[in-house]
Amino acid sequence: MKQIYCLSWLLWVVCVSQLNAQNQEQFKEIFDLGLPVVIINTVDEEMPIADEVDPPEGCWGMTINNKSKVYGRLRKYDKDGALLYDSGDYTKDKSGVSLKLRGNTSARWPKKPYKVTLEKAADLLCRDNDMYNDKEFALLTPRGYYDYPSPLVLMIGTWVQKHVCKGWYPENEFVNVIINGDYQGLYSICETVKRNSDCRIDIDGGLGFIAEIDPYWWNENISIETSIFKYESNPFKLTLKYPDEKDYSENYFSYIKDYFETFENSLTTETVDEYLDLESWVRWLLAHDILGSDDFAGSNIFTYKYDITGDTKLHMGPLWDFDTIEQTENRWSSIHTFQGLYFYQLLQNEQFVELYNNIYNEESEEIFNKIIQLHEDFKNSDLKTALKASISKDIERWPYRYMEDVDDAIENSEMWFVDRKSWMDEAVTDMYIKAKENLAAGIDVTEYNPNMQHDFSEEVYSITGMKQQKLHKGLNIIKSGKNRFTKVLIR
């Protein structure tokens, strides 16, 4: 019996070795590009599909639904062809993987991003530590369109997130991907935002939640509308990423809605820190401001709370979408100034502005120095060489795409951070001074009553001195004469 077992094991080793050798020989050109290679074979070579959907009237965004799922086997090799991971053939709950399309606008391009679900938890980033094991990963397509051509945005965004924010953030790795024998191009394997107390977001499995401030709420079965999202033209509502829809009760749903309503009413008051972990919110916004993110609606705003008790606060989750970084030259990130989200109100809160100013002044020198050094290190790395070769191959496969040359992309990015530091040094100081002046001005606060007539001029400002187009929820500064100011509070 022992001899039969040993013979079977040897036959298995020989078969796997032959298969790996065949893969390496068949795809030698891809391995020679210098990045790890992911090879996926699906049952009957079926590819996942989905329906494209446009938003209902009054809503934003283009996305997909009715996503099919296909099953198969995934192998990952290092750049030298050594096997790092093999899911095995698909057997439900035991081995193999499922694949389906993910994303919104990006899912409608010919080169697709994918959600990869493992039947048995593992670490597709192969970090040699079981604590990183999970079942869900993403295969993301590096940006490559004429408006935002840099293929390095995910890497650079991750650098900034690592050095600005605290807590978990999604790790990622460049790979070349082959599906059913067809080279699909350059991708990034990325951890997804989900609950995992060992290696991702740590929340109570029975009482915690992860909520997204989501412009694509209309493509979900259930969404939550709170008072701040009722304003005309506001594209957002809340959707739950954890727990699953089937796992929460009406009381659970009501708690989340009531909690958001309560902290919304505290955004410009001294009690806001009873509900929000202010530091995580400041650091999230600061990271986007440093990056110069231009897309406020696609920023994937994740929030989470450890449990539904009064002992924990609402945290900002990790940054996710970096497609439009390095775009807001000499101005704040778009999410900093957009009036339909919480940051507009928070920037009228003395605690929030004070904390933003303190963190920036205490840490910005080190943050920018580290980011610039990472750029310098990348210029002389094997990764840069491999990316240049892989991008050329990717563009052969997908000729509609345009990706900036890697050398140009890293030089332009480094100059962005050099210039951004100079601009932000002045802008943060100016924001802080204006906020202090407005708060100390002794202006009486007028409670806005929509049933009364108010003689407000066209000049409306936030308390940080940013000119606005109209009154919004929270504190507004109204200039109605040469030196006449009124504070107006809209609840």
- Is 7 inside any structural domain? no
Most confident option among 29-33, 148-152, 337-341: 29-33
pLDDT reported for residue 487: 65
Q: Does one domain contain both 157 and 264? A: yes
Q: Does one domain contain both 203 and 328? A: yes
Per-residue pLDDT, averaged over 118-136, amounts to 98
Q: Does one domain contain both 177 and 85? A: yes
Q: Does one domain contain both 335 and 455? A: no
- Is 393 inside any structural domain? yes
**SS3 label, residue 69:** coil
Q: Does one domain contain both 336 and 469? A: no
Residue 16 has pLDDT above 70, yes or no: no
Rounded (10°) CA dihedral 407, 412, 416, 418: 60
- Is 432 inside any structural domain? no
Residue 291 belongs to what domain range? 32-419
Q: Secondary structure of 116-136 in the HEC alphabet?
A: EEEEEEECCCCCCCHHHCEEE
Q: Does one domain contain both 462 and 390? A: no
CA–CA distance, 429 with 78 (Å, rounded to integer): 47
Domain count for the chain, please give it.
2
Phi first, then psi: give them for residue 7, nearest 5 degrees.
Answer: -65, -40
pLDDT reported for residue 66: 96
pLDDT reported for residue 484: 56
Of the residues 364, 389, 419, which one is the last residue of a structural domain? 419
Q: Does one domain contain both 67 and 169? A: yes
**SS3 label, residue 85:** strand
Q: Does one domain contain both 382 and 478? A: no
With cut-offs at 50, 70 and 90, classify the pLDDT of residue 338.
confident
**SS3 label, residue 418:** helix
pLDDT, tens digit, for every residue of 408-434?
999 999 999 999 999 999 999 999 988
Phi first, then psi: give them for residue 144, nearest 5 degrees.
Answer: -165, 60
Phi first, then psi: give them for residue 442, nearest 5 degrees.
Answer: 70, 25
- Is 123 inside any structural domain? yes
pLDDT, tens digit, for every residue of 213-268?
998 999 999 898 887 776 556 678 999 999 988 887 788 888 999 999 999 988 88
406, 384 Cβ separation under 8 angstroms: yes
pLDDT, tens digit, for every residue of 170-221?
999 999 999 999 999 999 999 999 999 999 999 998 889 999 999 899 999 9
**SS3 label, residue 365:** helix
Task: Report the DSSP beta bridge partners of residue 136.
Answer: 117
- Is 20 inside any structural domain? no
Give percent of the chain above pLDDT 90.
62
pLDDT reported for residue 424: 97
pLDDT reported for residue 10: 46
- What type of residue is 3? Q
CA geometry: angle at 269 spanning 264 and 273, to 5°? 75
Phi first, then psi: give them for residue 261, nearest 5 degrees.
Answer: -60, -40
Q: Does one domain contain both 353 and 478? A: no
**SS3 label, residue 4:** helix
- Is 483 inside any structural domain? yes
User: Which of 321, 396, 403, 327 lies closest to 144, judged by CA?
Assistant: 403
Per-residue pLDDT, averaged over 24-32, amounts to 86
pLDDT, tens digit, for every residue of 348-386?
888 999 999 999 999 999 999 999 999 999 999 999 999
Q: Locate 488 and state its tokens.
A: 């107006």
Tokens 């990045």 locate to: 35
Q: Does one domain contain both 254 and 399? A: yes
Give percent of the chain above pLDDT 70.
82
With cut-offs at 50, 70 and 90, classify the pLDDT of residue 298.
low
Phi first, then psi: give them for residue 455, nearest 5 degrees.
Answer: -95, 80
Q: Does one domain contain both 264 and 213? A: yes
- Is 42 inside any structural domain? yes
Q: Does one domain contain both 391 and 449? A: no
CA–CA distance, 112 with 465 (Å, rounded to integer): 43
Residue 17 has pLDDT above 70, yes or no: no
pLDDT reported for residue 474: 65
Which residues, 6 or more positions from 275, have their beta carbon under 8 angstroms from its beta carbon? 259, 262, 263, 266, 313, 314
pTM, rounded to two decimals: 0.86
CA–CA distance, 133 with 368 (Å, rounded to integer): 32
Residue 221 per-residue DSSP state: S
Residue 299 has pLDDT above 60, yes or no: no
- Is 13 inside any structural domain? no
